């Protein structure tokens, strides 16, 4: 009696490790993408208009971050607003950067992508770019007015122009080190406006 040949064993697929960065560039249909229900980012009308203008002019040059982890397939990690705008513009397919992350790490990356935006060097911006160009690209004239006032350099005598005193009755004269601490306080308290932080400090002083 002929012996039966043993069937070759099937190799188990190697376990894929969570990726620290996007593995490959690809494309996905907008209809297949799943927004993360926890995504905290929102846009103002102006921000939406600026992104729309950028996409119209250059297309989607910044890939959408999409997860491929089992149970989290096609979940958007970064780029929710761009996907919404692209869909409204009739775009059906978008470039993506694929990641392989558990939900816990996916949520962390989402927050980091939204939080790690840095700050502008306003003096360098004004030195290297025309204000009308920057306004056309998404800034407002008020951005420069506010920032240059708060970051203004004062001489050793801390002299302030009468015009500034009329326009800004309360001014805080800071060194670079004090200004850095001021920015850290704003970030730690989730505050973006200098006046709001000043108000908070005054309120606490009353207690």
**Is 2 a member of any domain?**
no
> How does residue 166 score in pLDDT terms, banded at 50, 70 and 90?
very low
The pLDDT of residue 181 is above 50? yes
Total domains present in the chain: 3
Phi, psi of 79 (to 5 degrees): 115, 20
Same domain flag for 107 and 172: no
Q: Which domain holds residue 165?
A: 152-206
Q: What is the pTM for the complete model shown?
A: 0.55
**Is 137 a member of any domain?**
yes
Which residues are CB-neighbours of 176 under 8 A, at least 6 positions away?
A: none
Percent of the chain with pLDDT over 90: 29
Q: What is the CATH number of the domain that holds 82?
A: 3.90.1530.10
Same domain flag for 60 and 127: no
Which residues are CB-neighbours of 51 under 8 A, at least 6 positions away?
A: 43, 81, 82, 85
Same domain flag for 140 and 196: no
The pLDDT of residue 21 is above 70? no
**Is 68 a member of any domain?**
yes
Task: Please compute, for residue 104, the number of CA atoms within 13 A of its CA located in the half-sphere on the CB side.
Answer: 1
Quote the CA–CA distance of 131 and 184 in Å, as a whole number. Answer: 28
**Is 12 a member of any domain?**
no
> How does residue 116 score in pLDDT terms, banded at 50, 70 and 90?
low
Burial status of residue 67 (CB atoms within 10 A of its CB: 0-12, 13-18, 19 or more): buried
Quote the CA–CA distance of 65 and 83 in Å, as a whole number. Answer: 11
Mean pLDDT in residue range 135-141: 74
Between residues 191 and 137, which one has the greater pLDDT?
191
**Is 190 a member of any domain?**
yes
> How does residue 40 score in pLDDT terms, banded at 50, 70 and 90?
confident
> How does residue 167 score in pLDDT terms, banded at 50, 70 and 90?
very low
In Å, how far from its chain's centre is CA 132? 24
The whole-number pLDDT of residue 19 equals 55
Same domain flag for 93 and 44: yes
């Amino acid at each position: 009696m002929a012996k039966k040949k043993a069937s070759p064993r099937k190799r188990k697929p190697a376990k894929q490790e969570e990726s620290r960065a996007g593995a490959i560039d690809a494309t996905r249909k907008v209809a297949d993408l799943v927004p993360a229900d926890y995504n905290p980012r929102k846009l103002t009308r102006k921000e939406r208009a600026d992104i729309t203008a950028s996409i119209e002019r250059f297309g989607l040059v910044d890939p959408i971050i999409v997860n491929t982890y089992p149970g989290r397939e096609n979940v958007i990690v970064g780029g929710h607003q761009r996907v919404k705008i692209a869909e409204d513009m009739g775009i059906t397919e978008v470039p993506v950067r694929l990641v392989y992350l558990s939900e816990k790490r996916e949520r962390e990356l989402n927050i980091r992508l939204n939080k790690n935006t840095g700050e502008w060097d306003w003096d360098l911006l004004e030195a290297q770019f025309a204000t009308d160009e920057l306004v056309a690209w998404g800034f407002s004239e008020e951005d420069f007015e506010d920032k240059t006032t708060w970051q203004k350099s004062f001489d050793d005598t801390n002299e302030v122009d009468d015009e500034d005193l009329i326009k800004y009755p309360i001014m805080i004269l800071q060194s670079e080190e004090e200004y850095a601490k001021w920015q850290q306080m704003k970030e730690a308290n989730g505050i973006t406006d200098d006046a709001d932080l000043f108000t908070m400090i005054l309120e606490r002083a009353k207690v």
